[in-house]
Structure 1
Amino acid sequence: MTNQTSQTTNEKKLLKQLYWRSFTLYAAVTPSKQGASGFSYAVQPFLDTFYKGNEEGRKEAMVRQMSYFNTNVAMYPFILGIVASMEKENSEKEDFNEESINAIKTSLMGPLAGIGDSVFWGVLRTLSAGIAVGLAQAGNVFAPIVFLLLFNLPVQILRFKGGQLGYSLGSSYISSLYENGLINILTKAASIVGLAMVGAMTSQMVNLEIVWNMTMDGEVVMNIQEMLDQIFVGLIPLVITLFSFYLLKKKIVSINVLIFGMIILGIVLALLGIA
């Protein structure tokens, strides 16, 4: 009974650290990792606790938590809690599927980002601003404070409770999935969702439109971009993304080299009037 109480108390302490550390998600952002370093920093106390005495396991977990991560800041602690609970399971079970940790994390960050952005940036911020603007027009000097309270209080409550909920749900459901033999199915499904999300991000964030067309006697006889779209919409952005991934994984090209290479490519294509 004493050990269980001590463990629960320690976990509560870790969850409080998770909440405060979660504010650093985008403190150091890179194009290739986004908030990965902030995520790793927030979950580090759990790794230090769960992998105590297992230095190799702790190193692997630290590398695992540096994978690409980008989501809404209000929903983020919920994912942190789930990942922390999965790392705990991984440290205790030899047959735990380590790939499921990043698969779950990747599959959750997209949908929760959409929900969080819609609810908090789209709805709550607008309502809070509307109330505060009305107060400001009436000459109320507390209007800015009202806005900050109306917007931030729900966000911070969700952030604090979300981490706790993710941790408790993760522990119970992951254990149940292992007992029922469904963890591999969940991992595969999560991987599919994650890949779909990455594909959607590629189509939205990678843009290159061909402006050069084939002309004859001053008239356009073939619109290159329209022709490519008929073959496959977003074909060139997809090729660029896959080629960049190939260079990163197979040729071990530095991300900085890729970034400068894309900048130079864009300038050259623009000067030549191709894109």
Structure 2
Amino acid sequence: MAKNNANIEEYVDQDTNANLDAKLMRQSWLRMLWVQASFNYQRMQSSGFLYAMIPALKRIHKNKTDLSASLKLHNEFFNTSPWLVTFMMGVILAMEKGKQPLETIRSFKVAAMGPIGGIGDAMAQLTILPITASIAASLALDGVGIGPLIFLLMFNLVRFAIYVPIFNYGYKLGLNALGMLQQQSKAFSRGATIVGLTVVGALTASFVRVKLGLEIPLTGSVLNIQQDVLDKIMPNILPLIVVIGCYKLIMRGISPVKVMLIMIIGSIVLHYLGVL
């Protein structure tokens, strides 16, 4: 008699000879591009993750009880970096093919979601996105009309250069992935964050513009507060102050939307007062 899939701990069919060919694997990681298509606040990315896993799971689990248990497992809460999610997918497919106990697979998912999310966010949001966006923005400011297309091309070329190899690497790594991830995630996240903050600092100086209208008339000349005083202390000190001020407001719990409204209203008021 088949076990109830709600209580199953190990797969009934322990055959590990399922053939996950290149075509099937390609279909799986391509589907993972839609991992956030059904994003919701109950299970986050679970629907998208399950959708990507289904073709391989059907090939691995011929027993209906096993397939049902696996589908149920991968429809549980799931949320990680969309950039590095294929690494987890590769590892989990290796575990599924090896018919590891369901609790082992679940434990890996729970343990790896956080580190991979941290690494992916630091790498994508703080490093690759600012770099590619700043290059495209510079081109657009110079009158290059295809600047946005260049951004999309660069951004996605970098993404796919990471997306596919880490899927294959995760599949080959299998069960050893968790230990490696725990050892390297902190150092990798720190390195990516440092690079990202360096880029953000460069963007602050290049793209944040603040121009004071305050001048002090002197005998035979005019003293411009910004050019002759503040910029002499440190070039672009005003953009830095604005960025730090926005950061402090966000860290105090004020939403980014409210910070933008404060900046807009404040800029209008200060302009009419002759300060900006």
TM-score, normalising length from structure 1? 0.54
Question: Aligned runs of 1:101-116 on 2, under 5 Å?
Answer: 101-110=120-129, 113=132
The one-letter amino acid paired with 2:263 is M
Q: Which amino acid aligns with 1:227?
A: V
Pick closer, same or farther for the CA change 1:82–1:112 going to 2, 3 Å. farther
Kindly tell me: are residues 260 and 51 of structure 1, through their superposed partners in 2, closer, same or farther at Cα, counting changes over 3 Å? farther
Bigger Rg, which one? 2
Distance 1:15 1:101, change over 3 A: same
**Residue 260, structure 1, aligned to residue 274, structure 2:** no
- Structure-2 separation of matches of 1:167 and 1:11: 9
- When residues 263 and 94 of structure 1 are mapped into structure 2, their CA distance, relative to the original with a 3 A threshold, is closer
Give 3-state SS (helix, strand or coil) of 1:209's partner: coil
- Cα deviation for residue 93 of structure 1 reads 6.4
The corresponding residue for 1:92 is: 108
| Cα separation, 1, equivalents of 2:188 and 2:220 | 58
1:215 CA drift (Å): 1.3
Provide structure 1 residue ranges, at least 5 long, that are not aligned to the other structure.
25-36, 66-79, 130-151
What's the CA shift string for 1:107-164, capped at 9, x where partnerless?
541476279859x99xxx99xx9xxxxxxxxxxxxxxxxxxxxxx9999999777642
Structure-2 separation of matches of 1:244 and 1:51: 44
**What SS does structure 2 have at the residue aligned with 1:215?**
strand
Distance 1:271 1:6 in 2: 67
Aligned to 2:7: none
Pair 1:168–1:255, CA change in 2 (3 A): same
State the Cα distance separating 1:204 from its structure 2 match: 2.8
Q: Displacement of 1:268 after TM fit? A: 1.7
Letter of the structure 2 residue corresponding to residue 164 of structure 1 = V
The change in CA–CA distance for 1:154 and 1:262 in structure 2 (over 3 A counts) is: closer
Equivalent residue for 2:29? 15
- Residue 45 of structure 1 is aligned with which of 44, 48, 51? 48
Q: Secondary structure at the match of 2:222?
A: strand
RMSD: 5.1
* Shift of residue 188, structure 1, vs aligned partner: 1.3
Q: How far apart in 1 are the matches of 2:266 and 2:155?
A: 42
Alignment of 1:123-272 (within 5 A): 163-169=163-169, 175=177, 178=180, 181-217=183-219, 219-250=221-252, 252-272=253-273
Tell me, which stretches of 5 or more residues in structure 2 are unaligned? Answer: 1-14, 54-69, 93-105, 147-151
The secondary structure found in structure 2 opposite 1:208 is coil
With over 3 angstroms needed to count, the CA separation of the structure-2 counterparts of 1:166 and 1:199, relative to structure 1, is farther
Give the letter aligned to residue 243 of structure 1. G
| Alignment partners' CA distance in 2, 1:51 and 1:249 | 40
Q: Cα–Cα, structure 1 residues 46 and 105, in superposed 2: closer, same or farther, change >3 Å?
A: farther
Aligned partner letter, 1:193: V
Distance 2:259 2:154 in 1: 41
Task: Check the 8 A contact 2:46/2:76 in 1, yes or no.
Answer: no
Q: Does the 8 Å contact 1:82/1:166 carry over to 2? A: yes
Between Structure 1 and Structure 2, which shows a larger proportion of helix residues? 1
